Structure 1
Amino acid sequence: MAPAPMRKDAARNWQRIVDVARHLVDDGAPLQLNDVARLAEVGVATVYRHFPTPEALMETVATPGLEALVAHAEQALTEDDPWQALTDFLGTTLEAQLTDPSISLVRAAPDHVLPRTTELATTLDSLAGRLLDRAHAAGTVRGVVTWDDLRPLMCGAAYAATVHADDRKTRLESGRRYLGVMLHGMRA
Structure 2
Amino acid sequence: MPAAPLRKDAARNRQKIIDVARRLVDAGTPIQLNEVARAASVGVATVYRHFPTPEALLETVATPGVEALIAHAERALRGDNPWTALSDYLHAGTAAVVADASLSPVFAAPVDALPHITVLKQRLNEVFAQLLHHAHAAGLADPNVTKTDLLPLMCGVVHAATVHAATSAEDRSVAARRYLTITLEGLRTAPRGP
Q: TM-score w.r.t. structure 1 length?
A: 0.98
Residue of structure 2 in register with 1:20 after alignment: 20
Q: Which residue of 2 aligns with 1:66?
A: 66
- Corresponding residue for 1:44? 44
Once residues 154 and 111 of structure 1 are traced to their aligned partners in structure 2, the CA distance between those partners, rounded to angstroms, is 20
Preserved CA contact (<8 Å) 1:13 1:42: yes
Deviations 1:26-79 (A, max 9, x none): 111000111101100101111011000000000000000000000001100000
Q: Is the 8 A contact 1:108 1:155 kept in 2?
A: no
Output one character per residue of 1:140-188: Cα deviation in whole Å (capped at 9) or x when no partner: 1111111111112111211110112521111011101110111011111
CA distance in structure 1 between the partners assigned to 2:106 and 2:159 by the alignment? 14
Q: For residues 152 and 57 of structure 2, what CA distance do their matches in structure 1 show?
A: 24
Number of aligned residue pairs: give it.
188
Q: Using the alignment, how far apart are the partners of 1:41 and 1:167 within structure 2?
A: 31
List aligned pairs for 1:1-188, cutoff 5 A: 1-164=1-164, 166-188=167-189
SS in 2 for 1:110: coil
> CA deviation digits over 1:72-109, x for unaligned, max 9?
01100000000000000000000000110111110111
In 2, the alpha carbon distance for the partners of 1:9 and 1:147 equals: 44
* Sequence identity percentage: 59
CA-based RMSD of the aligned residues comes to: 0.8
Q: Distance in 2 between matches of 1:177 and 1:145?
A: 20
CA distance in 2, matches of 1:163, 1:63: 24
Q: Secondary structure at the match of 1:101?
A: coil
Contact 1:21 1:57 in 2 (8 A): yes
Q: Which moved more, 1:146-155 or 1:52-61?
A: 146-155
- In structure 1, list runs of 5 or more residues that go unmatched: none
In structure 1, C-alpha distance between the alignment counterparts of 2:130 and 2:148, rounded to whole Å? 13
Q: Determine the C-alpha separation between the residues in 2 that align with 1:139 and 1:94.
A: 24
Letter in 2 for 1:105: P
- Give, in whole Å, the separation in 1 of the partners of 2:170 and 2:81: 29
Max Rg structure:
2
